[in-house]
Amino acid sequence: MAKQDKLIEKLYKIPPPTDFKWDDFVTLMNRIGFTCEFNGNGSSHCTFYKDPLKPLLFKRPHPRKELSVGYVRKAKEYFNEIGLNLNGDQDEK
């Protein structure tokens, strides 16, 4: 199984994972065609672009390295909004 597939499987786990690392999320986003742009010098705010009209705004977690469950849900909702069905199934809201 490719790394991308493993990351997608982890992202769509129910209940949402509490140990999804930021670096893994950025890797996944890059592999599915998004670019990440940090907003300013030393800023932890990041914007992911695939569709320039619908950017995804995130704040890099710190001091922890894991995404909050809220951000995991936000990412999945965003994927549904733009019609990007990564897991092929319906997931919880």
Q: Per the domain annotation, does 6 fall within a domain?
A: no
Residue 40 is part of a domain; what is its CATH number? 3.30.920
The pTM for the full model equals 0.83
DSSP assignment letter at 44: -
Element holding 7 (H helix, E strand): helix 3-11
Q: What does residue 58 show for φ and ψ, rounded to 5 degrees?
A: -135, 160
pLDDT tens-digit map of 35-92: 888 877 667 888 999 877 889 999 888 888 999 999 999 999 999 888 887 776 544 4
Q: Per the domain annotation, does 7 fall within a domain?
A: no
Q: Per the domain annotation, does 68 fall within a domain?
A: yes
Total number of domains constituting the chain: 1
Higher-pLDDT residue of 88 and 20 is 20
By CB neighbour count within 10 A (0-12 exposed, 13-18 middle, 19+ buried), where does 18 fall? exposed
